[in-house]
A and B are shown apart, each in its own frame.
Chain A
Amino acid sequence: MNRIALLSTDKIWPCVLASEYPEIYFDLFSTNDHRCNYLFMDMALKHCLYQNLKQYDLICIEIGPIRNCAPVTNNFDIKESMWITHTKKNYEPSKSINKELRNVLYHKSKVEFADSDIDMSYYAKLFIISLYKQSKNIPIKFFSMNAYMGDNIGIEDMLENDMQVVNKLKGFIL
């Protein structure tokens, strides 16, 4: 494998995983706001599949809460990327890894939104169904943390900690 995309909330597992495979390039798309999780993941996945033109050998997606959000006033040029790409020093979870990860690019969304505690579950269900269907043709592996929404890594339960995630995903990295 040459390149892997990781779509995550701000957790440690992407950094642990990347540290174990220094020869593989990782693109990490993360949000620290769980409340827009599935919408963020949907937009990050669209970016990976249809916009950034990188060929990923594996896309790992952490599914979580299914709440919604609403855009707030910004003034971005949409032809620019919605992502801010930076290095480890700005990414809090990476500090738990006691070595520099030169094989990771961290992509943070720069868009802001108003969050809401209302579940938008119909959209989320469709997103999960779309992941199941697309994973037949695209190397997508998704799993649940915090709340079980589905997975295609054969556990049918949510993963409770970062090391569980790392150990499970290592089985899919050739």
Chain B
Amino acid sequence: MKRVAIIGCSHSDYLDNSKIDVNFGLWIPMLCERFPNIEFHNFSQGGHGHLYQDMVMKYLRFATSPYDMYIVQLTGMSRWMVPIKGTSTWWDQADMQGAFTTDRRNIKNYIKYSWLPPRLCNVGVELPRYNDLQEVYPQHMNQGKNTKIHLDLKELENDTGSFRNMAVFHSYLFLKELQFMDNGSMPIFYFTPRTYNHWEEERISDNNLNLKSFNKWIKEKYNKKIDDYLDETFHLTLEGNRILFEEYLMPSKLGKKLIDLSNN
């Protein structure tokens, strides 16, 4: 069975969890249903940035067997990730593959990978201690395992974080690496459905699908505000996800590659 790896943020972090009110990344089950003979391994993590994506890409490229295709859903450029004080042991003991838990959810050709070491995401400047966080975020500190905490230590607006900093440079270098992999004939495809799009703001192409940025593309095609396709969490609605999958991704070379994988 062909295997496709997906790396992204909340826009691809499909959980299929009836216990939560919102479910992100609804284009993912559409993908799985369309291609039942392809197995999709989803490494996406809500709230995480390109440092996490870079780490996962290192794991996929260098520490495990190759996939038939890689889909990277780019995210905000200023996101970051750091360990929590007092959790070094978990970071150190986690072996390469054992650092992920896997869950098939309710889709037979879908595996959701969740990374275990405790960490803070989207961090500003100051790093808190694990014990402090246990008091503030007891619901997150699940025996130190599978812990991810979204914590903005600065007052952030529009997810810009401390924009134009080290994280932004890292994001740009990560994009350069993706472009290199693409030019090296690695089957890798990247894009972003984010509506607040740092890449577009910096006039940097956010995809290798030969398409305009999704938010600009959808506005031009439907002559509507992007807000019409967003839910209260600023993620795409079901209809927005359908347009993303059926009309943006599937006609592109990403869709053609999936069809090719499915047929061969």
| A interface residues (Cβ-Cβ under 8 A, vs B) | 39, 42-43, 46-47, 49-51, 68-79, 82, 111-114, 116, 118-123, 125-127, 129-130, 132-134
Contacts and interface: CB of A to CB of B under 8 A. Distances in A.
Given A68-B82, A70-B127, A122 B169 contact: no
7 contacts: A49-B177, A73-B154, A76-B168, A118-B82, A119-B83, A120-B91, A134-B62
Given A43-B173, A51-B176, A79-B202, A72 B91 contact: no
A23 B87 CA distance: 48
B59 interface: yes
A70 B55 contact: no
Contacts of A118: 82-85, 87-88, 91, 127
Given A76-B168, A118-B83, 12 more contacts: A42-B54, A49-B177, A50-B176, A71-B80, A73-B154, A74-B166, A78-B164, A78-B169, A112-B165, A118-B91, A119-B83, A126-B59
B127 A46 contact: no
The 4 closest A-B pairs by CB, nearest first: A73-B162, A71-B166, A71-B165, A50-B176
Contacts of A70: 80, 82, 123-125, 127
Interface stretch (B1-9, B92-100, B206-214): B92-100
A82 B169 contact: yes
Interface residues of B, number: 47
Interface in B186-216: 202
Interface string B64-84: 000000000000011010111
A49 B178 CA distance: 12
B177 A116 contact: no
Nearest to B117: A122
- Most B Cβ at <10 Å: residue of A70, A73, A77, A130: A70
Contacts of B125: 70, 72-73, 114
A114 to B, nearest CB: 5
Contact of A49 (B84, B99, B162, B180): B180
A33 B83 CA distance: 19
A72 B82 contact: no
Contacts of B77: 78
A77 B58 CA distance: 27
A108 B58 CA distance: 25
B44 to A, nearest CB: 18
Interface of B: 51, 54-55, 58-59, 61-63, 77-78, 80, 82-85, 87-88, 91-92, 94, 96, 99, 117, 123-127, 154, 161-170, 172-174, 176-177, 179-180, 202
A130 B62 contact: yes
A124 to B, nearest CB: 9
Contacts of B169: 43, 76, 78, 82, 111
Given A72-B162, A116-B82, A126 B92 contact: no
Contacts of B168: 71, 76, 78
A123 B62 contact: no
A121 B88 contact: yes
A90 B225 CA distance: 52
A122 B91 contact: yes
B154 to A, nearest CB: 8
Contact of B166 (A47, A51, A113): A113
B63 A71 contact: no
Given A46-B176, A118-B88, A126-B55, A73 B165 contact: yes
Given A43-B170, A70-B123, A116-B127, A77 B164 contact: yes
A46 B177 contact: yes
A121 B92 contact: yes
Given A71-B162, A119-B88, A123-B55, A50 B82 contact: no
Contacts of B99: 122
A130 B48 CA distance: 22
B164 A76 contact: yes
B63 A126 contact: yes
A71 B167 CA distance: 6
A60 to B, nearest CB: 19
